[in-house]
């Protein structure tokens, strides 16, 4: 493996965790320091936009959120003045943590969904921080569904679970496995 600065080699490397499905073309073998390679941990990356910058502090949740608020949001507004840019997190555990979601919500001026829907506080739970996202339409039956894993899935389009179960063989294997897990969890 080569370490290349200011050049794109056409490969995209994605963080995967044990048990996640990986395509052979997206994996690379690891080398230790004696292998003559360099490992670069990037917090934010924009292809071919300047050099890597060393951050001289330990990256805690506070410094991460500070960088999102101070650098990423203004950069996104500059690059996408019409507001059409997407800031997408990878699937690292820190991005799913409660402190991150709460902090991101406090630094984000507006949260934009890729679907036509609306949010409201969940009236069925005493947790005041829990929200329901409603109003999305199933792409097959056109019924209104909530945006949540309990009643729908998003796979390029929104699908209600009854339609997914009815047409399960037309979905990728990964979704079929997820639906099977949900079915066994409901039985137990």
Tell me: the pLDDT tens digits for 55-64?
666 666 676 6
pLDDT of 169 strictly over 70: yes
Which DSSP category does 50 fall into?
S
- Of residues 86 and 13, the one with the higher pLDDT is 86
- Of residues 182 and 104, the one with the higher pLDDT is 182
Q: How far apart are CA 138 and CA 45, in angstroms?
A: 34
**Closest C-alpha among 162, 118, 119 to residue 139:** 162
Whole-number mean pLDDT of the chain? 65
Answer whether 17's CB lies under 8 Å from 27's CB.
no
Question: Pairing between strand 144-145 and 152-154?
Answer: unpaired
Predicted confidence band at 141 (pLDDT cuts at 50, 70, 90)?
Answer: very high
Q: What is the pTM of this model?
A: 0.36
Predicted confidence band at 175 (pLDDT cuts at 50, 70, 90)?
Answer: confident
Highest mean pLDDT among 44-53, 68-77, 141-150: 141-150
Number of C-beta neighbours around residue 69 at 10 A: 15
pLDDT of residue 30: 56
Number of C-beta neighbours around residue 138 at 10 A: 19
Which DSSP category does 68 fall into?
I
């Amino acid at each position: 493996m080569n370490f290349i600065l200011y050049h794109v080699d056409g490969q995209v490397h994605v963080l995967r965790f044990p048990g996640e499905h990986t395509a052979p073309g997206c994996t690379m073998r690891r080398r230790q320091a004696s292998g003559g390679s360099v490992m670069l941990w990037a917090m934010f990356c924009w292809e071919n936009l300047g050099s890597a910058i060393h951050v001289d502090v330990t990256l805690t949740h506070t410094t991460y959120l500070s960088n999102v608020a101070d650098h990423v949001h203004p950069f996104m507004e500059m690059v996408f003045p019409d507001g059409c840019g997407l800031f997408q997190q990878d699937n690292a555990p820190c991005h799913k943590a409660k402190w991150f979601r709460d902090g991101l919500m406090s630094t984000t001026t507006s949260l934009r969904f890729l679907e036509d829907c609306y949010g409201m506080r969940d009236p069925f739970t005493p947790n005041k921080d829990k929200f329901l996202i409603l109003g999305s339409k199933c792409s097959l039956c056109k019924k209104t569904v909530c945006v949540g894993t309990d009643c729908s899935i998003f796979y390029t389009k929104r699908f209600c679970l009854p339609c997914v179960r009815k047409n399960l063989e037309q979905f990728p294997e990964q979704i079929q496995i997820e639906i099977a897990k949900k079915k066994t969890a409901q039985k137990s």
